[in-house]
Amino acid sequence: MIKTIECSQEGIVRILDQSRLPLEEVYIECRDHLEVAEAIRKMRIRGAPAIGVAAAIALALGAQKIQADSFEGFYSKLQDLAETLAGTRPTAVNLFWALGCMKRCALDFKDLPLQALKERLREEAQRILEEDINTNRALGREGKGLIHDGASILTHCNTGALATAGYGTALGVVRAAFEEGKRLTVYVDETRPYLQGARLTAWELQKEGIPFVLITDNMAGYFMKQGKIDMVMVGADRIAANGDVANKIGTYGLAVLAREHNIPFYVAAPLSTLDLGLPSGEEIPIEERDPEEVTQFLGTPIAPPGAQAANPAFDITPARLVSAIVTEVGIARPPYKDSLRDLRQRAWHRPKAG
C-alpha cells in the first residue's frame, strides 16, 4: 500500500511529496513540527484525513522538544504548537479533530513524568494514523453495496490512499467494490487548479489496475447526459450537522448536474469529518489559496501577466443534493440532522473499527 506519511523512532517524518506526483515519487524528510506544518500548507501532503494524521505526528514531534518544570508549563507550550499547526489550512475539520485528540491525550496523562507523557503523545499520533486506515477499510465495507457490478462512478479530487493514512474514503469505497470482484469504471475529474484528479487519483488507480477514464472538469455534464455515469462518489473536508458538505471546489457543480440527470450523489467520509457543532455549511470557513495556482501551471504562466484570478479551494454542497453519506459505522440518509447524530451515537457504543 502507498505510504503517505510515516514517522521513525528517531523522529524523522517521511512524507510522500504529492506536489511532485505523478512525475516524481519523492519522499521529503521533516525534522520538526514547523517543517510538517509547511508541508501541509504547501499541499505536499493533503486530503482531510491525511492532514489530520500529519498534524498529530507533527504535534508529537514538537512535544518531544518541550522543556518544562510542570505539566501546566508543558501544556501551555503544547497549545502554542497546536495553534501553529491549526493555522495551516482552515477547511478540513480533521486537522482540528486530530489536534483535539492529542491535547486530550496530554490531559489524560498529565500526572505522568514528562518523558513518559511525551512517549504517550507519540503513541497517540501513531494510533491516529493506524485508526485512520482501519476506519477507511470499514468505510469501504459499509459503502461498497452502493456500487453495482458494471457501474461507472464519477469522482472528484483525490480521496484515495494519498488523501489518508492509507486505503482512502470515497476511493476506498470504490476500491472495496473492486476488490470484491465488481467490474467498474471510474470517471476521474482532473480537478483544476491543483489537478488532484489527473495527478493523484489517476496515478493511484493506475497502480491498482482499476479501470478509469480521465476527463476535464467541464466534461462531467456531457457524460452524464450521455448516460455514461451511474453515480457520483466524492469525499468531504467538513460536514455540518444538517448534512451540508464542504469539499474540493467543483463538487457543488457536480451535485447540481447529478440532480439534473437523476444520478445519485454520494459522499464518503469518516466520522472525524463531521462537525456537528456547526448548524449548516454557511459557517464552514473556505480556504482561499494563492491565485498563482490558477494563473500558472507547474510554474509556467497560462494567463496574461497581471491577470486577476480567484482561488477558493472548496465549495459547499447543500444537503438536499446529497443522496447519502457513507461513514465507517453506516450510511446516513436525509434528514441528516437525525441520521448523522444517530451514527455518531452508534459509534460511541461500538468497538473501534478494525
The neighbour count for residue 264, using CB atoms within 10 Å, is 15
- 140 is an interface residue for ligand MRU by CB under 6 A: no
Residue in this structure with the C-alpha cell 459503502, named with its chain if needed: 143
Distant-in-sequence, close-in-space partners of 271: CB < 8 Å, separation ≥ 6: 135, 327, 328, 329, 343, 344, 347
247, 317, 323, 339: which one contacts ligand MRU (CB under 6 A)?
247
Check: CB of residue 321 under 8 Å from CB of residue 135: no
Return the residues of window 180-199 that contact ligand MRU according to CB under 6 A: 196
Q: Which is nearer to ligand MRU, 121 or 157 (CB)?
A: 157
> Contact region for ligand MRU (CB under 6 A) — 102-110, 158-166, 211-219, 274-282?
158-166
53: Cα within 13 Å, side-chain hemisphere: 29
The CB-of-49 to ligand MRU minimum distance in angstroms stands at: 5
Distances, alpha carbon 111 to alpha carbons 78, 107, 118, 143, 147, in Å: 16, 9, 12, 42, 49
Total residues binding ligand MRU (CB under 6 A): 17
- 322 is an interface residue for ligand MRU by CB under 6 A: no
Distances, alpha carbon 295 to alpha carbons 171, 192, 194, 209, 258, in Å: 29, 11, 11, 34, 29
235, 243, 250, 281: which one contacts ligand MRU (CB under 6 A)?
235
Phi, psi at residue 327, to the nearest 5°?
Answer: -125, 180
- 128 is an interface residue for ligand MRU by CB under 6 A: no
- 157 is an interface residue for ligand MRU by CB under 6 A: yes
- 274 is an interface residue for ligand MRU by CB under 6 A: no
How is residue 5 written as a grid cell?
506519511
**244 part of the active site:** no
Q: Which is nearer to ligand MRU, 237 or 275 (CB)?
A: 237
**Under the rule (CB under 6 A), what is the footprint of ligand MRU?**
46-49, 92, 157, 159, 163-164, 169, 196, 235-237, 247-248, 313
Catalogue the active-site residues.
Answer: 237
